[in-house]
A and B are shown apart, each in its own frame.
Chain A
Amino acid sequence: MNCNVATSWIHDYLDGELPREEAIQLKAHLLACPACRSRFEQLERTEAYVQAAFSADTRSLAGSDAYNAAALTDRIIGALPTAPKKRSWTRWLRNHPAIAVASVFAMVMLSSFITMWEQHGELVVRGTDLDQVVITGNRVIVPEGARVNGDLTVENGITEVAGEIQGNLTVIDGTLNMASTANIIGEEKTINQALDWVWYKLKRTVNDLAS
């Protein structure tokens, strides 16, 4: 047997982790090799002394004047904050990073929507074919006999429809007056509440992305 292996096995033996089979081989080597035998004896002695030193240590320290256990206990308890920190929402957030990120995102989106929502007041007319649409003041008029080829969107105005609209009509924050001659081929919608409006914006964004 190699003496290096024997040294390693001696340590395993002292750790109480050398399998029986190998312990027998080690014993054979120790009988044949005086150097390893001497090393084994020294290590065995070291192990015993170290164990004895620490066990004596425990006993002597317990009876020592320099260590006042009760005083230290008082000091420890006295230094504690009055109540352990409650499970705070910040810790919950730290444990759920995905939700934290998502909620921050939602907050930013919502605030930007609200900002946009508050930028109202101005009349906005949007559409693909506005040639025949008449705008006077804050009134948007599709006169009788006129025809809008596509969608029409009006924000912050009064919309009067007497003609024909081929696409969708959307009225945001305004009123819609329809004459009996009016004919809207697509969808017709009036949006007045923030949430509806947000939903509309979202849908439009998705539609834009899709097309």
Chain B
Amino acid sequence: MISMEARLARLALKGDQRAFAEIVGLYQDKLYHMAYRMLNNRQEAEDAVQDTFLRVYKNLDRYDENMKFSTWIYRIATNLCIDRLRKRKPSYSLDAESNEHEGLDGYSMIPSDNRTPESETLLSEVQQTIHKAIDTLPAKYKTVMILRYLQELSLQEIGDVLDMPVTTVKTRVHRGREFLRKRLEREF
């Protein structure tokens, strides 16, 4: 049986915009959360989500129905987020103090909105600490952790999305978890 998403995709391909709006409805929030946690910036997250749907729409005819639709859309979204991170990636170390901007280290130069936006106040201190710690992870670990814990994908699904072997995914989850453990043990 073909999935609901695949059915909607077929309709959208025939020019049915309402079918595509259904797909947007199914994935918009999930993608926004993911993009927000990847980029730590609301405006950029919204742009990334919009880019994702635009790319999905333009490539509907290339969607392979043997693949889960979610895998496909997450793949597009993670690639776009990683591209954005790469584009703004500073060439200097995050922890090194910049010569030009005295007193500022790399962290303060990453475009980011207020570190405690209104919604974050609903999160406990522990939760905010965790999000900050995840935000400092290198992109390849961050992506895996977000797919694992925010999207609650299985290790196999993460491997499908990122097109890498499950063993690699596992290693990244383990390293990411160790990193966070060290961070948390320092904090508490």
Contact = CB atoms under 8 A, between A and B. Distances in A.
B21 A73 contact: yes
Interface string B147-188: 001100001000000000000001001100110110011000
A57 B127 contact: yes
Contact of B177 (A14, A56, A76): A14
A32 interface: no
Interface in A24-67: 39, 42-43, 45-47, 49-54, 56-67
Nearest to B151: A54
B74 interface: no
Interface stretch (A82-90, A98-106, A175-183): A82-90
Nearest to B128: A53
A72 B46 CA distance: 7
Name A's interface SS: helix
Interface residues of B, number: 49
B42 interface: yes
A80 interface: yes
B40 to A, nearest CB: 12
Contact of A66 (B49, B50, B119, B127): B119
B80 to A, nearest CB: 14
B124 A80 contact: no
A64 B127 contact: no
A78 to B, nearest CB: 10
Contacts of B122: 56, 59-60, 63
Contacts of A11: 170, 173-174, 177
Contacts, number: 129
B37 A57 contact: yes
B155 A15 contact: yes
B173 A15 contact: yes
Name B's interface SS: helix
A5 interface: no
Given A72-B49, A73-B21, A76-B50, A85 B61 contact: yes
Contacts of B49: 72, 76
B53 interface: yes
B12 interface: yes
Interface residues of A, number: 44
Contacts of A209: none
Contact of A53 (B12, B123, B181): B123
Contact of B57 (A39, A69, A84): A84
Nearest to B117: A66
A69 B32 CA distance: 9
B17 interface: yes
B32 A46 contact: no
B101 interface: no
B54 interface: yes
Contacts of A17: 155, 170
Given A60-B123, A64-B119, A84-B12, A53 B50 contact: no
A77 interface: yes
Given A49-B127, A50-B145, A50-B180, 9 more contacts: A42-B184, A46-B180, A46-B181, A50-B134, A50-B177, A53-B131, A60-B119, A66-B117, A84-B13
Interface of A: 8, 11-12, 14-15, 17, 39, 42-43, 45-47, 49-54, 56-67, 69, 72-73, 75-77, 79-81, 83-85, 87, 91
